[in-house]
Amino acid sequence: MKESLLLIEDELLLGDELARYFRKQGWETTLARNLSDAKKLFNEQGVDPLVVVSDMNLPDGNALDFLEQCKDATHSAEWLFLTGFGSVADSVRAVRLGAYDFIEKPCELERLNMLVEGAARSARAQRRLENETLAQNSRYSLSALAGNSAAMNQLRDMVSQMSQVPFSSLIITGETGTGKGLVAKVLHYSGTRSKAPLIEINCAALPRELLEAELFGYEAGAFTGAKKRRRGLFELAHTGTLFLDEIGEMDLELQGKLLKAVEELRIRRLGSETEIDIDVQIIAATHQNLQQRVKEGVFREDLYHRLNVINLHIPPLRERLEDLHDLVHQFVAENNAKSNKNIRDIPPTVWKKLKNYHWPGNIRELRNIIERCVLLATGNVFPEQWLQLSAPADQASLNVENGIVLPLDGSLSLQDMEKYIIQKVLEKTDYNVTAAARMLGTTRETLRYRVQKYHLGLH
């Protein structure tokens, strides 16, 4: 399929020459003699050119005025302007309106062709980005929040309302695995900033210094190893959304810098003296009780109130088991497609086991279990033997005389396991750090670091 090029040129000989030349180059070329004809092509015939090559001054007006009027209708097209007498004012305005280039007549056809090819590459990239965004918008629509329980209906209603208003910040709370990241994506891709970037970071995954550099960026030489300037996530998320997962794990000192950035919408890269204006909406998420963290003095109260403009709480799966039906069918369908399987029948015994399970890992655990079962299935019936559901939550982590039993079904992350083990060993040794470190085969310093990291506290 040929790509479309629109020429707007009132000089008869030049217009015909350009049209013939670009048709020979493989373009589906349409020629308009004035702005009125061009408007009819856009509005009545639905012409959707990849590149527009237009004379600047036409019998019925200035082409820059026309570009400004129809920019929304041709947002993925690149515009290239020709003029017999260029001016600084026109060139500045052309750039401001998003024109690809501005060239004086007469110009060589080969040079013009190079510019058109460059404009075409830029327009193709824009269209690919738009298509990817549309796909993301479809994937993360409200229908992605499956379930018909009262809690899920209420959550969908709140997300729907929030996606239509320009909120500055909000907090999503809920246990690990409930789908806080999914809600953040639905909010972004269903909202007013859906065409702008969604930038995500897990605040628990990096130490303070690295997290600060990631968020705010840095100048060359700001610290050892900073060989060149790097833009931070705030800058990358400009006009879009910054998703701060596990905000409750952020270092107290860094929380103060985050508060300043959120309040003033202005940041400073590490090692820089210049402040940069930003326009972002903040979505924070945590599985912790931030109000309790505030009381404990490990989370800033002013930052909590600044972020907590709106609070979306996702209930755990065990409190909305009526959603299991929708979720299981959704995950089975997804994994059927991914694994080229065709599971259609889910026996009643499977449903009984799923409904009697406590789901400590919530939806993440359910998704992992369904993926395993579909992957290992050999027929059209859901394989009950691969459920491998562990004991209920009150029995899953029982201490035994010489060890600790942990579920290996995906309900606990590696970090959760480490925290749990340290907590149980500290309790077992009556919070004797030396004895606990010996039992864990590590040093007292390393153990103290982990205790501080997980805010376990020593009695």
pLDDT tens profile 254-273:
999 999 999 999 999 998 88
Cα(51)–Cα(357) distance, rounded to whole angstroms? Answer: 59
In this predicted model, what pLDDT tens digit does every residue of 111-169 receive, in sequence order? 999 999 999 988 888 788 777 766 666 678 888 899 999 999 999 999 999 988 989 99
At 402, list the tokens: 């010489």
Contact 63/8 with Cβ under 8 angstroms? yes
Report the C-alpha gap between 420 and 418 in whole angstroms.
5
**Smallest Cα–Cα separation from 389: which of 376, 373, 405, 413?**
373
How many C-beta atoms surround the C-beta of residue 168 within 10 A?
Answer: 14
Rounded to a whole number of angstroms, the CA Rg of the chain reads: 29
CA distance 275 to 269: 8
Length of the chain (residues): 459
* Dihedral, 102, 104, 105, 111 alpha carbons, nearest 10: -70
Averaged pLDDT score across all residues of the chain: 86
The pLDDT, as a whole number, for residue 57 is: 84
For the chain, give the longest Cα–Cα distance: 95
Alpha-carbon distance of 127 to 81, in angstroms, equals: 21
Q: Smallest Cα–Cα separation from 51: which of 12, 22, 14?
A: 22
User: What are the pLDDT digits (tens) for 166-217?
Assistant: 899 999 999 999 999 999 999 999 888 988 889 999 999 899 889 999 999 9
Burial class (CB in 10 A: 0-12, 13-18, 19+), 177: buried
Q: What is the pLDDT of residues 270-317, one digit of tens each?
A: 988 888 999 999 999 999 999 999 999 999 999 999 999 999 999 999
pLDDT confidence band for 451 (50 / 70 / 90): confident
Three-point CA angle 134, 173, 298, nearest 5°? 125
* Range picked from 91-105, 133-147, 409-423, 426-440 for highest mean pLDDT: 426-440
Taken in order of first residue, the domains within the chain and their CATH numbers are 4-133 (3.40.50.2300), 167-313 (3.40.50.300), 317-386 (1.10.8.60), 413-453 (1.10.10.60)
Residue 384 burial (10 A CB sphere; 0-12, 13-18, 19+): middle
